[in-house]
Structure 1
């Protein structure tokens, strides 16, 4: 990870300096966004390309922008690792972008988790695949409310989420009241602890139990402290018994049709620590970032405008002709595109923009000298946001 970060830094800064020295004209970010021309590519979807050299020490920026009308298109957040979903992304009616983080560089990844599993909140067609075990900026599609489509970009945490244990003799429900309380589980309530808290949970108080939970699986129950799973949590709650492992079902404080966690929020402010990018919390490329947001990288972001349009921005990077941007510059770009709130999604080699089943951005797993983009060095997507007709 350190070698890759160092290579990214020197490569991207060299590319930026090269273009800044030779550019005939330097653009501000608002000017770069103003000259972009949006064209309709399908009902409810417009596409534009940002291209120009800026004076922000990031050199040339090349990015694809998709502006989506959520009243026409629902935002289906999906796990796309199956062969069927990989083929779906290639269909001529498919319009999509890459999604949230997944387990990749972390070690060790212990069962039941496995490499490429999604990290954080994931809701597909109203079904909670992963609860928000990390307090992260997320894209939330609530569907139609009062004749209006409600889509938000905001932080979502475990507080007020309810789980039902399906392996009990009688229905057992618990609602989370506290998340990562620094002084341990307070009182007779339910608390959750993830890897941003530490490697091991506190011990449960009297008449309470500690649960090891990964996604919708209850792995174990104990009256003692437990190791916190990499992409899961330890839940401390009033005592009950169940046969483990068993399934859990989750529901949020209000119904969500579709949701995908990313992080951190880009505006109004970037605060990685408040979104639990810390210690060994995945992805470790963010939680253990020693570059302090200095690297220019491929980035992916989504945001919402005051009019309700949803903006998706895929910024090319690791390319001498387009080295990428920092998180802070990504946030400035989203503001320049009119977003009042926006969030970073998974970028790097996973960044992708798909129009009519075709990838329109430049994507590579390694740095390249020009715009070559062979199919052999493109990482398959693990999650995606697909824009489907309502």
Structure 2
């Protein structure tokens, strides 16, 4: 144990541990226990030029080399103060969301010819670049990949404070195979998050959700969008009662049929269409209604149950009811069929080591665990922590007496700050200097310590 064990006796119990694995490698982790409930909020920033440049670097170095059909990448954020030249309607579909509309028409231009011939498109992209809302890398003239970026991307270090705990949380779209529909954006988070009973982000795929109730009880449930009441224009909708929900991996496009398809991501209707055949977003779903009249309000809210206090959905589970989980209990994409995110996720339960973050409960206290890992390219044996497998993490949770815990997004996204101090190194580091390279993320959590 390290000196930080006693740092916050009255506010939280903090432990830093380091030991040797059976292979003689270092494993370093941090464990926090905090009274619950406590002030908690989601953290989101504003995607700026520096964030776009970091994302461009990730694409050029890590993602585009595996996709030789693309000669470069163009990443952009839309701004309603910069009007786009594209019509909302294209046949049966009406695209209200600006980023989706821009990508829809760029994709269509590529299918029908070369978009650089479109003067209005070129002028619009130049306006975004002038406003520092667009970056490009590689060969932009031949066949680059045009991708809109989620507007809330940030670096969590900008939120560090001396009276808070800050951590990363959710999966988000990043791989090129995560972004197949025009309604997908780089960095779009997915998975349930509710704070003080309000559902901020809905569940989507049926994956493990850590949940607590007003009574103080907690547990882990598998929740999906089909378990929610969906509220639009004051009307309540339930799947197979007065609507149908189409989502991946069952549907890549909505069935051809009469009625209205609402293309929904998070709390917004991005587009609507009649007749079916709409692409299903990877971080969202399609709500089908028999009435073909579109709603007047494009906002969407969700309800689960009245006594809901807090929930977070990422997964997989590490321990449930104090018992070690022994493998994946929900589906992940394995390279066949209709893609659904995360489309690239290491499915080696016992051997795949990485940096990890987890959130759970122990005796009704909130428990947070961070496990330090290192990318192979920068790993230094005898100095760096090797990270751990999901199996090893589950046993650490069990040995720590944790009742319920789920794994959060890990790898290069994994980070924890306690009172403004990051005690564990980030797994992404500069090859030249060895300094931490902090990835942009769309969503984090801030726990205010009383």
TM-score of the superposed pair, with normalisation by structure 1: 0.73
Going from structure 1 to structure 2, the CA distance change for 1:176 and 1:80 (only over 3 Å counts) comes to: farther
- The answer on whether the counterparts of 1:153 and 1:303 sit within 8 Å (CA) in structure 2 is no
d(CA) in 1 for partners of 2:304, 2:222: 13
Residue 128 of structure 1: SS of its match in structure 2?
strand
Question: Equivalent residue for 1:347?
Answer: 410
1:58 and 1:196 map into 2 onto residues whose CA distance is 41
Residue 163 (str. 1) matches residue 230 (str. 2): yes
1:47 aligns with 2:14: yes
- Give the conservation status (yes or no) of the 8 Å contact 2:168–2:445: yes
Q: Distance in 1 between matches of 2:447 and 2:293?
A: 42
CA distance in 2: counterparts of 1:290 and 1:48, whole angstroms: 29
Shift of 1:131: 0.9
Deviation by residue 1:323-377 (Cα, 9 ceiling, x = unmatched): 11111111111111112222110111111111111212110325879xx7525x2
Q: Give, in whole Å, the separation in 2 of the partners of 1:105 and 1:232.
A: 16
Distance 1:388 1:37, change over 3 A: closer
Structure 1 segment 288-327 matched on structure 2, within 5 A: 289=346, 294-305=351-362, 307-318=363-374, 319-320=379-380, 321-327=384-390
CA distance in 1, matches of 2:343, 2:317: 17
Q: Distance in 2 between matches of 1:163 and 1:252?
A: 9
The whole-number CA distance in structure 1 between the counterparts of 2:19 and 2:3 is 10
Is the 8 Å Cα contact of residues 88 and 94 (structure 1) preserved in structure 2? no
Conserved in 1, the CA contact under 8 Å of 2:20 and 2:27?
yes
Q: Is the 8 A contact 1:78 1:122 kept in 2?
A: no
Q: Which has the higher strand share?
A: 1
Task: Compute the displacement of 1:39 (Å).
Answer: 2.7
In structure 2, the CA distance between the partners of 1:195 and 1:237, relative to structure 1 (3 Å rule), is same
Task: Determine which of 50, 58, 63 is the counterpart of 2:29.
Answer: 63
Instruction: Give the CA RMSD over aligned residues.
Output: 3.3
Q: Using the alignment, how far apart are the partners of 2:328 and 2:296 within structure 1?
A: 35
Query: Could you list the runs of 4 or more consecutive aligned residues of structure 1 that deviate by over 6 angstroms after TM superposition?
Result: none
Give structure 2 stretches of 5+ with no counterpart.
47-151
Q: CA 1:74–1:228 in 2, change beyond 3 Å: closer, same or farther?
A: same
Query: Number of aligned pairs?
Result: 329
Cα distance in 1 between the residues matched to 2:277 and 2:417: 45
Matches within 5 A, 1:122-141: 122-141=193-212
Kept in 1, the 8 Å contact 2:359–2:405? The answer is yes
TM-score (norm 2): 0.64
- Which of 62, 70, 95 aligns to 2:165? It is 95
- Note closer, same or farther for the CA distance 1:245–1:106 as it changes in structure 2 (3 Å cut): farther
Of the three residues 348, 364, 381, the one matched with 2:427 is 364
Q: 1:174 to 1:197 in 2, by over 3 A?
A: same
State the distance in 1 between where 2:157 and 2:425 align.
20
Contact 2:4-2:15 within 8 A present in 1 as well: yes
Kindly provide the CA deviation profile for residues 192-220 of structure 1, in whole angstroms up to 9, marking residues without a partner as x: 3322324223445x7x5433211112221
Change (3 A) 1:42 1:275: farther
Do the aligned residues in 2 keep the contact of 1:80 with 1:384 (CA within 8 Å)?
A: no
Q: 1:210 to 1:199 in 2, by over 3 A?
A: same
Are the counterparts in 1 of residues 167 and 416 from structure 2 also a CA contact under 8 Å?
yes
Contact 1:212 1:235 in 2 (8 A): yes
Structure 1 residue 385 corresponds to structure 2 residue 385: no
Q: How does 1:263-282 map to 2 (within 5 A)?
A: 263-268=315-320, 269=325, 272=328, 274-277=330-333, 279-282=338-341
Larger Rg: 2
Question: Hey, what's the Cα distance between the residues in 2 that align with 1:77 and 1:138?
Answer: 16
Tell me the distance in 1 between the aligned counterparts of 2:332 and 2:348. Answer: 18
Cα distance change of structure 1 residues 389 and 150 upon mapping to structure 2, 3 Å threshold: farther
